[in-house]
Structure 1
């Protein structure tokens, strides 16, 4: 795993895209602070930039560096949940502008996955995590279901295919600064 973390780290440092296993489904990723790298993900997925992407952080401290003000309920949710949960926050800072939604929000998850945790900690910045599919196509549940277009279009494929079991996307909850809570995907 260490070798794959180092290879993925080098790709992220170079502004490239990676295909990697997460705590949910296989993800397409890049440096979430690099607008050119984020644009590559949108192009690879054939996805409009107005449709937001998720990014991953290693822990609460990293989350606090990239969100202006975290609602108190977010801490409670993150502590209470036992399934992968992505939270949409208001007013992200220090993130590529094309990753921030028009309503000035950003979806962030703290993954419970050893590879993701070690990679993000080594990289010291958030990484994009979006399902490894062309926009409008089904989300692949296993590595074998990833389309040839994605496999050929990504700069690096993390070689941990045998370690990832079929899973499902995370729950998505939006927390607004005004206290509004909305479940986007259960």
Structure 2
């Protein structure tokens, strides 16, 4: 696993794209602070850049680097959640501007996955995590379902967990600083 982390880190630091297993589905990732790298993901996915992407961070300490004010409810959700949950926060900071949604929000998840945790720690920053599919196509449930265009369009494919099957995307909850909680995806 350490060799895969080292290889992925090199690509991320050079502004490249990686294809990697997350705690949910296979993801396309890049440095979440690099606007050019984020543009490459939108192009690869053939996705409108007005559609926001998800980021991963290692822990709540790293989360504080990218969100001005974390609502208290977020910490409760971290504690009680048994399934992967992505939270949409108001007022993101220190991220590529083309990663931030039009309503000035950002979707961030703290993954429960050893590879992701170690990669994020060693990278010491947020990494984009968007499903490994062309926009509008079904999310691949396994590595074998990833389209050849995606495999060819990234700079590095992490050679771990290729057998992982029946994965599903995380739930998404929007937590506004005003106290409003809204379920976006169950």
Query: What is the count of residue pairs matched by the alignment?
Result: 186
Partner of 1:87: 87
Taking the aligned partners of 1:103 and 1:150, their CA distance within structure 2 comes to 29
Partner of 2:105: 105
For residue 162 of structure 1, give the secondary structure of its aligned residue in structure 2: coil
Partner of 2:65: 65
TM-score between both structures, scaled by the size of structure 2: 0.98
Deviations 1:105-125 (A, max 9, x none): 000000001110000000001
Taking the aligned partners of 1:166 and 1:125, their CA distance within structure 2 comes to 28
TM-score between both structures, scaled by the size of structure 1: 0.98
Q: Which runs of 5+ in 2 are unaligned?
A: none
For residue 89 of structure 2, give the secondary structure of its aligned residue in structure 1: strand
Deviations 1:136-186 (A, max 9, x none): 000000000000000011111111143533210000000011101000000
Partner of 1:37: 37
Q: How does 1:16-55 map to 2 (within 5 A)?
A: 16-55=16-55
Could you tell which deviates more after superposition, 12-21 or 164-173?
164-173
- Would you say the 8 A contact 2:142–2:163 is kept in 1? no
Q: Which runs of 5+ in 1 are unaligned?
A: none
Partner of 1:2: 2
Q: Displacement, 1:78?
A: 1.0
Two-structure CA RMSD over aligned residues (Å): 0.8
Taking the aligned partners of 1:185 and 1:103, their CA distance within structure 2 comes to 18
Taking the aligned partners of 1:144 and 1:107, their CA distance within structure 2 comes to 27
For residue 61 of structure 1, give the secondary structure of its aligned residue in structure 2: helix
Taking the aligned partners of 2:12 and 2:102, their CA distance within structure 1 comes to 25
